[in-house]
Structure 1
Amino acid sequence: LESCVESLQQAQTAIKNGVNRLELCSHLELAGLTPSIELMKSIKNLNFPTHILIRPRDSFTIQNDDLALIINQILVVKQMNFQGVVFGYLTQTNELDIEALKTILQHCNGLTKVFHMAFDFIEDKSSAIKNLSSLGFDFILTKGGHGTAIDNLECLKQLIHDSNIQIIVGGKVTFENLQIVSQCGAKWFHGQKIVNMRLE
């Protein structure tokens, strides 16, 4: 189970209630942006497996100085010895931005690499999976298409069957609907409420 968190308190609660890994981000109302260095430092002190979202702007396309900023943010993550990074960039026509991804991946040695939910905007998902595998991604975070994971169980089953990259299933997955969503056969599940986030 992977918990998507944007504060130290959320991270501590998720760990206490049984998650296996954190994804740290900020501004979830914008589908997540890169967290601040201050937040990363506080989470690092927990000494818990954590992936960091790398997304400087509310967009899945690369513009202007984005690449330099993205690479700089990844270098910070490496210096702080986090486990992995989560990112994904598309062209204006919602296909993989292969050149940008290749450039970014050159700076990800030693990190686990997750392609995030930009994947859900890609029409030819089968071809995208092959390309992401060739590029060296370790995971794909997806809800299987538009809507939520529960809306896309059949598509998720097919993706998991066809993929040689591990699929992390997200998209409104909670501790309350996990039993239903797990019918898709994935090994990893992701959400803000993947475990009960109430402080007991």
Structure 2
Amino acid sequence: MIIEGIATNIQDVHDLNRFGADRIELCSGMEQDGLTPRMALVKEAVLVSSIPVNVMVRPQGITFHYTDREIMQMVDQIREVGSYGANGIVIGALAEDGHIDANALESFISVCGEMDVTFHKAFDALDDQVEGLKMLLKYPEVKTILTSGGPGGVTDNFEQLERLMKEAEDTHVTIMPGGSLSTENVAEVIERLKTEGLHFGTGIRSTKSYDAPISKEKIEFIRTVDRSGR
């Protein structure tokens, strides 16, 4: 199982590498649920990391509906992220009617090159997630959908996540549960969903704050639970 952890600074990047994570989502502004990090941090993170680094590209935390100017800014940032050798980008855009913004998505994909694309938790704002999944399946560049399955955390939406994972079977898209995951509930999540990967925020830090350091013990615990559950 892939353990993906959020990094907000270079120390997090080093710690996730040293403590046994499999992939990094690099972000800033976690008080706004994740914004585009500084490009200097992106460059350094990719340089020092031996595990894949996926970079959040999100210019503001107010809405998932972006202006033409914001979309152009995101396109430029995706190009720059790609020039540093990042593994992937983490993006999401919704139209005014609440559906996925296909035009924005295609603009992002057009410059992503070989990078993987993760559609982030804008997915949780959709009224019809199955419809959204079917739309994203039209784009082979989209490898992952990060989702809680709806409002709340993963454990609030088991049935919906199971439905999404069933719909995504034998496709190029992996449903990655994320949201309020912790060492307290990870055993239940792994047993129930048997997922290919889990996305952790503060759940792998020493306290429930992004100011706290990454916890080696918590990552090791999750790895042990994963092995015992197989």
> If the length of structure 2 is used for normalisation, what is the TM-score?
0.82
User: For residue 176 of structure 2, what is the amino acid of its counterpart?
Assistant: I
Give, in angstroms, the shift of residue 199 of structure 1.
6.4
Aligned residues between the structures = 200
- Aligned position for 1:150: 155
Could you report, residue by residue, the CA deviation over 1:38-96 in whole angstroms, capped at 9, with x for unpaired residues? Answer: 21122122233110000011121111411110011001111001100000000123211
Of 181, 187, 191 in structure 2, the residue corresponding to residue 179 of structure 1 is: 187
More RCO (CA 8 Å, sep 6+): 1
SS at match of 1:65: helix
User: Aligned runs of 1:1-200 on 2, under 5 Å?
Assistant: 1-47=3-49, 48-58=51-61, 59-136=63-140, 137-163=142-168, 164=171, 165-182=173-190, 183-195=192-204, 197-198=214-215
| Alignment partners' CA distance in 1, 2:27 and 2:8 | 5
Q: Normalised by the size of structure 1, how large is the TM-score? A: 0.94
1:74–1:12 CA distance, 2 compared to 1 (3 A):
same
Query: CA contact under 8 A between 2:52 and 2:86: conserved in structure 1?
Result: yes
**Consecutive unaligned residues in structure 1, runs of 5 or more:** none
**Aligned residues: percent identity?**
28
Contact 2:65/2:95, CA 8 A, preserved across alignment: yes
Tell me, what secondary structure is at the counterpart of 1:134?
coil
In structure 1, distance between residues paired with 2:135 and 2:215? 40
SS at structure 2 position matched to 1:120: helix
Is the contact made by 2:19 and 2:216 (CA closer than 8 Å) also made in structure 1? no
Equivalent position amino acid for 2:174 in 1 = Q
